[in-house]
Amino acid sequence: MESYTILKQLLLPPGLFLVLLALAFVLVRGTLGRLVLFVTWSLLLVMSLPALAGPLIRLAEQYPALPPTALRQTGAEAIVVLGAEVYADAPEYDGHTVGVNSMKRSRYAAWLHRRTGLPIYISGGAGPRAPGPAMQRFLEEELAVPVAALEDGSRNTRENAELTAPLLEQAGIRRVLLVTDAWHMPRALAAFERAGVDAVPAPTYFVSGARRLQRAAGAENHGWREWLPQAAALYASYYAIHELLGAVYYELRADLGPKSQAWNLRVDPDQLS
């Protein structure tokens, strides 16, 4: 069974890509070509191993879960949940519905609402395929949880904060529980703080930890499998690098200021995925 597991992981992506790159390294001629192949192979290997991807995603997941016993001690007056992706043109639903990350965040927002009674504000993006309307339908029609307001003009995390802040101010809300994925929380929280919103981090869906990544790949209780390439680990590495680069971008943008023409280009790390 262990031989079968190893063979399977090496024949499925990303293991298959690592095997092919190793073969290319043997066949290719020239120092530069081999160097490029070796660097590519090494980076893919590091990002594909649960034992290494776990610590990497932990760099992004800086805020711990909000203890259920402390919910009423936060002083929050509303829940703000950030949109992620939409499952567009879903044939089984005959239209758009919530994507995986949007569903996780909506579910936790509903869970918080039922325990605190706080109103839910969705910051859900702009355009015909924005996740916000799908999240509102999911919350109200499937989870039977009311939505107080929907912000539907944002295109990235920074605009989530900037366009939600006036809605909260108009409602007289001073402090909120901010709901998003754990890996996305540091950048989201910083954006809301820059927009003048007093936000308490309420992260959901923690990916970090080699054992959790193992379970995502269906490989429990076998520590050696942490050193086999797995798609779940590569997925976690992608989000970790995405958020770390995004945090650097936002910090530079904030330091240079809104008047800097160098940052007036319509480029945002949220749009790189």
Q: Within this chain, do residues 195 and 225 fall inside the same structural domain, yes or no? A: no
Statement to judge: residues 201 and 252 lie in one domain: no
Mean pLDDT of 133-155: 96
Domain of residue 132 covers 68-205
As a whole number, mean pLDDT of residues 228-245 equals: 83
Q: Which residue has the tokens 């754990």?
A: 182
Query: What was the pLDDT predicted at 242?
Result: 82
**Domain identity same for 76 and 188:** yes
Number of structural domains the chain divides into: 2
Beta-sheet strand order (sheet of 120-123): 149-151, 120-123, 78-82, 175-181, 198-204
Closest CA to 119 of 49, 175, 186: 175
Model pLDDT, residue 261: 38
Same domain assignment for residues 148 and 234: no
Q: How far apart are CA 154 and CA 89, in angstroms?
A: 21
Predicted TM-score (pTM) of the model is 0.76
**Predicted local distance difference test score (pLDDT) of residue 163:** 96
pLDDT reading at 220 higher than 70 = no
Same domain, 174 and 120: yes
pLDDT given for residue 209 in this prediction? 55
Q: What would the mean pLDDT of 120-132 be, rounded to a whole number?
A: 90
Q: Could you say which of 171, 187, 205 is where a domain stops?
A: 205
Is residue 195 located within the same domain as residue 159?
yes
pLDDT of residue 253: 77
pLDDT in tens, 47-101: 888 878 778 888 889 999 999 999 989 999 999 999 999 999 999 999 999 999 9
DSSP string covering 49-70: -HHHHHHHHHHH--SPPPPGGG
Please compute the mean of the pLDDT values over residues 1-30 and round it to a whole number: 71
User: What pLDDT does 144 receive?
Assistant: 97
| 55 and 74 both lie in a single domain | no
Question: Taking the C-alpha atoms of 52, 58, 59 and 62 in order, what is their torsion angle to the nearest 10 degrees?
Answer: 180
- What pLDDT shows up at residue 51? 79
181 pLDDT exceeds 90? yes
SS3 assignment, position 213: helix
Mean residue pLDDT across the chain = 83
Same domain, 147 and 257: no
User: Are 236 and 120 in the same domain?
Assistant: no
What CATH number is attached to the domain comprising 92? 3.40.50.620
Per cent of the chain over pLDDT 70 is 83
Residue 271 lies in a domain: no
- Is the pLDDT higher at 169 or at 216? 169
Are 214 and 200 members of one domain?
no
What pLDDT sits at residue 44? Answer: 86
Residues 197 and 214 in one domain: no
The predicted-structure confidence for 152-173, as pLDDT tens digits, reads as follows 999 899 999 999 999 999 999 9
pLDDT at 111: 98
Is the per-residue pLDDT at 254 higher than 80?
no
